[in-house]
Structure 1
Amino acid sequence: MLDPRGPRFAAMITSVVLVVVLITGSGWLALAQAVVFAAGAASIRYAPYSWIYRKFVARHLGPPPAEREPSEPVRFAQGVGFAFMAVAAAGYLAGAPLVGLIATAGALTAAFLNAAFGLCLGCEMYLLLQRVRARFSTN
């Protein structure tokens, strides 16, 4: 179970990184963010931004709220972010900056919504897929 402030913190850092990717068109920075997303999809505990949150930020915020979030939707969202940024990095590095720009803008939209409003699109997609799977598995 996760402190819900952690994913929002990570989304803030991600938003800043993605704005820099959009401004610079850096395929290498897009690839670095894809690696960060891959780490988060594998394990939130070892994701770089989650580590920064736990090590340096959480202790200054006081105890986490009583309501914690399950990690599975967040890990799924990280996987979706990885897919977007892998496409972005490939686009930028292969000389197709429009592909990189569109994929980065999609990832930035999701990260910003999470950072600013606590709306995790990847988490919502995970929950929707779970409901669809449950509906079809009972029939």
Structure 2
Amino acid sequence: MRSLFAFPNPVNEYAARITAGLVVLLALVTAVSGSGWGLLAIAAGFWLRVLFGPRISPLALLSVKVIAPRLGRTKLVPGPPKRFAQGIGAGMSTLALALFVAGAQPAAWTVLGILMVAASLEAFAGLCLGCRAFALLQSRGLIPEDVCEACNNISLRRS
């Protein structure tokens, strides 16, 4: 059962950035079309990635299995911060969906816009806000050091 909910560690940074770019594209199409179904697809994708890693999510599979290998670039980074970031995306996209269903469309689109900004920073600038939040929480002792040994041990980050 544990392997069912496993998340890769390490993660290819380029595949994660491609997935973020695909999220931006899907969110843009969703916002332009005003589609609640698009919000559902975005939220479902984040939950699939949080719970199962890239094994089931269509966007992650496209990134990991098709696009990233064609780029031929790999940069391995710790997995736990990326999973944490996916969890934040799952929460935000679920909130946007709930607001949409509740009839608060302007609030839903605002939350989706914030999510698009965060995903754009990851995709186009390599700045993962969720990863930064993870590091801050770990440095404050709110996330135990053993959750991500490579995150708190500079010598492991270089290897």
TM > 0.5 fold call: yes
Structure 1 residues 70, 99: CA separation in 2 closer, same or farther (over 3 Å shift)?
same
Q: 2:130 is matched with which residue?
A: 122
Contact persistence 2:96–2:108 (CA under 8 A): yes
Moved over 4 A (4+): 134-137
Q: 1:60 is matched with which residue?
A: 70
TM superposition score normalised by structure 1: 0.88
Contact persistence 2:18–2:68 (CA under 8 A): no
Using CA pairs under 8 Å that are at least 6 residues apart, name the structure with larger relative contact order, 1 or 2.
1
Q: 1:5 is matched with which residue?
A: 14
Q: Which sections of structure 2, spanning at least 5 residues, go unmatched?
A: 1-9, 146-159
Compare 25-34 and 41-50 and name the one that shifted more. 41-50
Does 1:70 pair with 2:70?
A: no
Give 1:59 shift.
Answer: 2.6
Whole-angstrom CA distance in 1 between matches of 2:123 and 2:48: 19
Contact persistence 2:137–2:143 (CA under 8 A): no
TM superposition score normalised by structure 2: 0.78
Compare 92-101 and 40-49 and name the one that shifted more. 40-49
Give the length in aligned residue pairs: 135
Does 1:50 pair with 2:69?
A: no
Give 1:134 shift.
Answer: 6.2
Does 1:85 pair with 2:93?
A: yes
The percentage of aligned residue pairs carrying the same residue is 31
Give per-residue Cα distances to partners, 1:103-136, cap 9 Å, x unaligned. Answer: 1011001001111100011111111111111699
Q: 2:47 is matched with which residue?
A: 38
Contact persistence 1:44–1:71 (CA under 8 A): no
SS of equivalent to 1:43: helix
Does 1:109 pair with 2:117?
A: yes
Compare 87-96 and 114-123 and name the one that shifted more. 87-96
Contact persistence 1:76–1:123 (CA under 8 A): yes
Letter matched to residue 70 of structure 2: H
